Amino acid sequence: MNKWADEYNKKNDVEVNYRSIGSGAGVSNLMDKTVVFAGSDAPLSKDQYKKVQKEGGCVHIPESLGAIAPVFSVEGVDSLKITGEVLADIFLGNITKWNDSKLKKLNPDANLPSANITVAHRSDASGTTYGFTGYLSQVSSKWKSQIGQTETPSWPVGVGGKGNEGVSAAMKKQKNAIGYVELTYAKQNDLDVFKMKNKSGKFVEASPEGVSAAASGAANDLPKGTDDWSDVSISNAPGEKSWPISTFTYVIMYKDFGKAYEDSSKEEMKKALKFVKWAVNDGQQYAPKLHYPKLPSPAAKLDNSTLKNMTFNGDTVL
């Protein structure tokens, strides 16, 4: 989003003031009407969706796809495999040593130490955490019953960091650590990423191509932009190339600024919609260099239809 804001400003001389503060805080600000849109890896909850209907409703605009990457820091080891079940057991505190038999069975040739595993997780309300815990809930009955899918888990173990930046920093500082971040942060910080066993039983590396494969089945069957998106998921998707922890990232906005905000204007709304329309169309050219795939065509088509039908006090804006 920051890349889009910079490029859009260069091309259109329009400043987009976007701050990366975590999905939970972004959605909270949207609900408080202090921002015109929120960027979030998590859709509105069913309760949040019901609440905004009193304000004329909202729209979900999937603007990008991303991989959530489980990362590790073990001296002398730069390649490891893991399954979702083992990952859940580590974050539940059931597996505490790097040379645990389950890890050794997956990685017979790795020189795994007898050291304790340090778990690094998000400390803030996080869409990345929502995606991560959603995946763990799909593959581990223990995780689903004890923690579930949430932006703010009661973590059984570990140290917290604010934002992807905070977890990345913790991974750089801690020895014998495990954590999870968006793939672009893993790449930027030179963190080692596990190969993961996907639903088809293949061990795959995190990549934009793997995320695209995961999204391919869902892209043609998405809800309308004005509908409830709380049940949408592309994690643990079928396909030999699919990356198992894949997510949409959304721009979430009120459907009608005139009904939602006391001090907005049709021109202000038009500026916001034009930026979002540029992001889901021309802006997609910047995604691959940041380790994100481009939006599937059906998702971009849906976004354009959603934006076209947004209104200000009932009047079309674009």
Q: Would residue 242 count as lying in a domain?
A: no
Regarding whether 184 and 126 lie in a shared domain, the answer is yes
Average pLDDT over all residues of the chain? 95
Is pLDDT above 90 for 219? no
Return left, alpha or beta for 185; rule: phi > 0 is left, psi -120 to 50 is alpha, else beta.
Answer: alpha
Give pLDDT tens digits for 253-300.
999 999 999 999 999 999 999 999 999 999 999 999 989 999 999 999
Clarify whether residues 25 and 40 are in a common domain. yes
- Is the domain of 86 the same as that of 59? no
- Does residue 279 lie within any of the structural domains? yes
Give yes or no for residue 148 having a pLDDT over 90: yes
Range with the poorest average pLDDT among 11-25, 170-184, 283-297? 11-25
Predicted local confidence at residue 19, as pLDDT: 85
- State whether 138 and 53 are in the same domain: no
Asked if 156 and 24 sit in the same domain, the reply is no
Residues 175 and 85 in one domain: yes
Report the percent of the chain where pLDDT is more than 90: 92
Residue 194 domain boundaries: 67-211
pLDDT at 105: 98
Please give the structure tokens belonging to residue 114.
Answer: 């007898």
Q: Could you tell me which residues come within 8 angstroms of residue 163 by beta carbon, excluding any fewer than 6 positions away?
A: 20, 21, 22, 122, 124, 126
| 119 and 184 assigned to the same domain | yes
- Check whether residue 217 and residue 207 sit in a common domain: no
137 and 87 in a common domain:
yes
Q: Per-residue pLDDT for 218 more than 90?
A: no
Structure confidence at residue 119 as a pLDDT band (50, 70, 90): very high
CB 127 within 8 A of CB 151: yes
- Is 264 a member of any domain? yes
> What total number of domains does the chain contain?
2
In angstroms, the CA 45 to CA 51 distance is 10
User: What is the share, in percent, of the chain residues with pLDDT greater than 70?
Assistant: 100
Q: Which amino acid is at 110?
A: A
Average the pLDDT over 297-309 and give the result: 96
Name the band, by pLDDT with cuts 50, 70 and 90, for residue 315: very high
Q: Which residues, at least 6 apart from 176, have a Cβ–Cβ distance to it below 8 Å?
A: 73, 74, 75, 98, 113, 115, 116, 117, 118
Average pLDDT over residues 240-258: 96
The CATH number for 11's domain is 3.40.190.10
Please name the residue ranges forming H helices in 39-116: 46-52, 84-92, 101-106
Same domain membership, residue 118 and residue 41: no
Same domain assignment for residues 98 and 177: yes
238 lies in some domain: no
Q: Strands (DSSP E) along 2-106, which ranges?
A: 38-40, 58-73, 81-82
Query: What number is the average pLDDT over the span 39-43?
Result: 93
The pair of three-digit structure tokens given for residue 57, joined into one six-digit string = 């409703």
Averaged pLDDT for residues 179-187:
97
Residue 199 and residue 268 share a domain: no
Q: Is the pLDDT at 23 greater than 90, yes or no?
A: no
In a domain, 239, yes or no: no
Residues 79-94: pLDDT tens digits? 999 999 999 999 999 9
